[in-house]
A = this chain, B = another copy of it.
Amino acid sequence: MAPATDHLVTKLVSFMPLNQAELSCLADLQSASIEVERGRELLHQGEQEHVAYVLQAGWGCCFKILQDGGRQIITFPVPGDCVGLRSVILRTSDHAFTALTDAVVSRVEVSRILGMLNEFPRLGAALLWATSRDEAITVEHLASVGRRTAVERTAHFFMELWDRLRLVGLASEQEFDCPLNQYELADALGLSAIHVNRVLRDLRQKKLMTFQARTVSLHDIAGLKRLAGYEVIEPGTSRLLEL
């Protein structure tokens, strides 16, 4: 059975209203949910994968392992996020996906997605919007790692995370739960864990934000956004893809 609140629906609805049939299609798609324990690897880098996942509860972690053992984290999926659609198309997964906390996911077979696209084209458009948004976030992430300083980058990361969590109702206006440790943060930001620690101290001392005891508290959002050079990737309701 589906969780109390369906975060995927919450997210898609912010893009376009969905009718009853579409909602039940989404519910159906996610009906077979699986509980996975923290650390479980659901998608394996370099292997052929024929399934995608919708994360329903808990956090995930998409990353690549490099030659020297280094790790680059691409994104931390949160409830409502889809993972692995791309690897389905490319036939082999270019990255791995693990559960960062105990989590609930639903496996989605390719065939069902294709079927859904046929039967409910508007859902296809909504899904396309969601994945495009994820892409835009990856591109922004690239810009961060390539051209922002460690502090700017870190501030930017938290602003983006905050926006993503609010979109599915998992963050309040000044704080949110965040199960990441400094190693994970480091591998996402392209920094060393030790430097992340110093950066967090910096942000704390500048009274911008704190990250302690698994919770992020935003003390000066305007200041953070200014520091990060943050611009919203606006939800922007669909005017264009009238389907």
Q: Which A positions have Cβ atoms within 8 angstroms of B?
A: 46, 50, 64, 66-68, 70-72, 74, 86, 88-92, 94-95, 110, 114, 128-129, 132-133, 135-136, 138-143, 145-148, 187, 189-190, 229, 231, 233-234, 236, 239-241
Given A94-B136, A128-B89, A142-B138, decide whether A68 and B236 contact each other with a Cβ distance below 8 A. no
Q: How far is the CA of A148 from the CA of B133 in the complex (A)?
A: 26
- Nearest B residue to A133 by beta-carbon distance? B90
Provide the bound-state CA to CA distance between A133 and B92, in Å. 11
Contact between A145 and B145 (Cβ–Cβ < 8 Å)? yes
* Complex: chain B residue closest to A71, CB-CB: B147
Closest chain B residue to A73, Cβ basis: B146
A125 smallest CB distance to B (angstroms) = 8
Whether B236 lies near A90 (C-beta < 8 A) is yes
With A142-B138, A142-B141, A142-B142 in contact, is A91–B147 under 8 Å at CB?
Answer: no
Give the residue of B88, B128, B145, B234 whose beta carbon is less than 8 angstroms from that of A142.
Answer: B145
B-side contacts of A234, CB under 8 Å: 92
Q: In the assembly, what is the distance between CA of A46 and CA of B233, in Å?
A: 10
User: Contacts A90-B129, A147-B66 known; A74 to B142 CB distance under 8 Å?
Assistant: yes
Query: Which of B66, B70, B129, B147 contacts A89 (CB under 8 A)?
Result: B129
Q: Show 27 A/B contacts (Cβ-Cβ < 8 Å), sorted by A.
A: A46-B231, A50-B240, A64-B140, A64-B143, A66-B148, A66-B229, A67-B229, A68-B229, A70-B148, A71-B147, A72-B147, A74-B139, A74-B142, A89-B129, A90-B129, A90-B132, A90-B236, A94-B136, A94-B233, A110-B241, A114-B241, A141-B142, A142-B142, A145-B145, A146-B187, A146-B189, A147-B190
**Nearest CB on B from A243, distance (A):** 8
Q: How far is the CA of A198 from the CA of B95 in the complex (A)?
A: 31
On whether the beta carbons of B142 and A239 are closer than 8 Å, the reply is no
Tell me which of A64, A89, A90, A95 has the highest count of chain B C-beta atoms within 10 A of its own C-beta: A89
